């Protein structure tokens, strides 16, 4: 079953969801942080700092800064790869999984509320 948006509807959806996050959540993520979070939760593991940097086309320090913030929020965790100490493995958390699930619910609700 297909679902089509006009550009104005897609922008309205994005606006409504992000506005809701700013108003309702104490967890206010940047676009980069949200992209890192969704990549880790929507794509199969393992995820590493190096791999995320390559995939997203940003530097490893940019990924590290995003992970520092999300680590404090308990949305993601990190640990050294026991097999290769140069790698840092990004781990999902219960809090992060719940955040992503609530985000999906908010997007779905906002999409259903869009005028047709």
Query: How would you list the strands of the sheet with 76-80, edge to edge?
Result: 47-48, 88-92, 76-80
Q: Check residue 27 and give left, alpha or beta (phi > 0: left; psi -120 to 50: alpha).
A: beta
| Structural domains of the chain sorted by starting position, each given as residue range(s) with its CATH number in brackets | 30-104 (1.10.10.10)
Residues 48-98: tens digit of each pLDDT: 999 999 999 999 999 999 999 999 999 999 998 787 777 889 999 999 999
At 33-42, the pLDDT tens digits run 999 999 999 9
How far are the Cα atoms of 3, 5, 95 from residue 30, in angstroms, in the given order? Answer: 27, 24, 18
- Report which DSSP code applies to 48: E
**Higher pLDDT among residues 68 and 116, named by residue:** 68
């Amino acid at each position: 079953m297909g679902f089509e948006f006009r550009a104005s509807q897609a922008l309205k959806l994005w606006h409504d969801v992000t506005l809701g996050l700013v108003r309702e959540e104490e967890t206010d993520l940047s676009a980069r942080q949200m992209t890192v979070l969704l990549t880790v939760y929507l794509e199969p593991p393992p995820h590493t700092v190096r791999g995320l940097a390559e995939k997203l086309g940003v530097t490893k320090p940019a990924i590290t800064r995003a992970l520092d913030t999300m680590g404090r929020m308990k949305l993601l965790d990190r640990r050294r790869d026991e097999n290769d100490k140069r790698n840092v493995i990004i781990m999902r958390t219960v809090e992060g999984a719940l955040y992503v699930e609530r985000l999906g619910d908010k997007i779905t609700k906002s999409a259903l509320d869009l005028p047709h």
